[in-house]
Amino acid sequence: MINKPRVGRTEALHLLPSAMTVLSICAGLTSIKFALDHKPIPAMALIAVAAILDALDGRVARILDAQSRMGAEIDSLADSVNFGVTPALVVYVTLLSKWPVGWAVVLLYAVCVVLRLARYNAQQDDGTLPPYAKEYFVGMPAPAGAVSMIGTIGLKLQFGEGWWTSVWALSLWITGTSLLMVSAIPMKKFHTLAVPPNWAAPLLAVLAIAAAAAVLEPFILIWVIIISYVCHIPFAVRSKRWLAKHPEAWEDDNKQRRAARRATRRAQPHRRSMARLGLRKPGR
């Protein structure tokens, strides 16, 4: 008799991750409703809410040990709705409904999100991938693609009409985002990054600044996030290439990896200079 309420509470807690996923779907679909009502700001806010819930539901499931196959399938469907269908329709209704080519580019984006998620799910069951591959996404993740999409609306709301709202500029940006998602370019999983203790205070200060910017200049903040993410791509590519050549360093922390890279560069001091000059080693 005493244990029954505890069992009931445990079962209810196990439903929490799936409930958060369903709420994220509701937020995404309601975002479309606000876009149809010509209210882009609430529509963008609800996409952000859906992204936050998507980031939390998996972590809550792991904390509660409530992971299940059904939960994983619901989460994948939620991602396709929240980060594929919803941003495509919101951008189309807000910016591109006057041009026939607008539907083509948002359709391309939605299809690329579905393909990207299908590839991600397939790779989860692929036992042939090296261990260091767990630190990287293959292609741009769907939430980052959604941020890139709503950033186009943010430019119009911040600066009004301009070349950035032309159908060709929007089509080029959306097509580029779509191709990045289905590309094989590695992108770092930020939750795998280890923060050194001496970086904690500066990062908290940056977080406080970001919180203030989210209230005062939210559209500028969106583009700071987009530009920062794009700038990290070359470093992610370089990092994965180095790990591919030194897989034994995967279990080392970031400090040890940096030391190993410095040692490699010192061992081959002439290599970078020759590459810059386009020189090759003389043949035998």
Q: What is the pLDDT of residues 170-180, one digit of tens each?
A: 999 999 999 99
SS3 per residue for 154-214 = HHHHHHCCCHHHCHHHHHHHHHHHHHHHHCCCEEECHHHCCCCHHHHHHHHHHHHHHHHHH
Closest by CA position to 136, among listed 65, 224, 232, 61: 232
Please state which of the ranges 19-23, 72-76, 161-165 shows the lowest mean pLDDT.
72-76
Tell me how far apart the alpha carbons of residues 32 and 82 are, in angstroms, rounded to a whole number.
Answer: 10
- How much of the chain exceeds pLDDT 70, in percent? 80
Q: What is the pLDDT of residues 87-132, one digit of tens each?
A: 999 999 999 998 989 999 999 999 999 999 999 888 877 777 777 7
> Looking at residues 8-19, what average pLDDT do you find?
70
Which token pair is 145?
Answer: 């693609």
- Which pLDDT does position 129 carry in this prediction? 76
- Which pLDDT does position 247 carry in this prediction? 72
CA distances from 279 to 11, 268, 274, 275 (A): 66, 15, 5, 6
- Which pLDDT does position 58 carry in this prediction? 77
> Looking at residues 58-77, what average pLDDT do you find?
79
Tell me how far apart the alpha carbons of residues 84 and 140 are, in angstroms, rounded to a whole number.
Answer: 13
pTM of the predicted protein model? 0.84
